[in-house]
């Protein structure tokens, strides 16, 4: 944390990724074969209250490039080659036991939902509990490493 009480995201991200051994908390992978050179990233998990358009930070997860590509499939779909997007879908299909074509339909439904919700520009992000969220993520990662 910075002295002003705000998050030093770079420091927190490095700390949790190092603690996880740069292994994805979803699939256990390390981004092998990804079209970029980063190993893992720290992803925020949000809960949404649609009536008052508030997003609440509820978790932090260390994830590999491939899981990130599915979580943010709209970005993947618009910035990566079709072959890379297909490989990300295949990754998610294996993890979830869903045929690749069905996984693509699921991702496209989520993308459509995201586009509809994003039409509202008055969303508020609530980071108030970030320290507790970070502590819980640290404990979960530590416990997984000890198991």
Whether residue 1 lies inside any domain: the answer is no
| Structural domain of 104 | 9-146
Q: How many structural domains is the chain composed of?
A: 1
Whether residue 2 lies inside any domain: the answer is no
Whether residue 4 lies inside any domain: the answer is no
For residue range 93-111, list pLDDT tens digits in order.
999 999 999 999 999 998 8
Q: Are 69 and 80 in contact (CB under 8 A)?
A: yes
* Calpha distance 74→114 (Å, rounded): 9
- Judging by DSSP bridges, how do beta strands 40-49 and 54-64 pair with one another? antiparallel
Assess whether pLDDT exceeds 50 at residue 2: no
Residue 144's Cβ-side half-sphere holds a number of Cα atoms within 13 Å equal to 19
Residue 3: pLDDT band by 50, 70, 90 thresholds?
very low
Assess whether pLDDT exceeds 90 at residue 45: yes
* Calpha distance 143→32 (Å, rounded): 24
The pTM of this model reads: 0.88
Whether residue 74 lies inside any domain: the answer is yes
3-class secondary structure, 42: strand
């Amino acid at each position: 944390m910075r002295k002003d009480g705000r998050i030093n995201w770079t420091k927190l991200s490095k700390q949790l990724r190092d603690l996880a051994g740069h292994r994805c908390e979803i699939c256990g992978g390390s981004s092998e074969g990804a079209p970029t050179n980063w190993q893992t990233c720290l992803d925020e998990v949000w809960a949404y209250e649609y009536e008052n358009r508030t997003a609440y930070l509820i978790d932090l997860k260390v994830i590999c490039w491939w899981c990130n590509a599915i979580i943010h499939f709209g970005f993947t779909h618009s910035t990566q080659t079709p072959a890379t997007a297909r490989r990300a879908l295949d990754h998610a299909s294996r993890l979830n036991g869903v045929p690749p074509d069905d996984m693509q339909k699921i991702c496209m439904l989520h993308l459509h939902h995201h586009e509809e919700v994003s039409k509202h520009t008055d969303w508020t992000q609530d980071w108030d509990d970030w320290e507790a969220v970070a502590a819980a993520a640290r404990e979960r990662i530590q416990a997984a490493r000890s198991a």
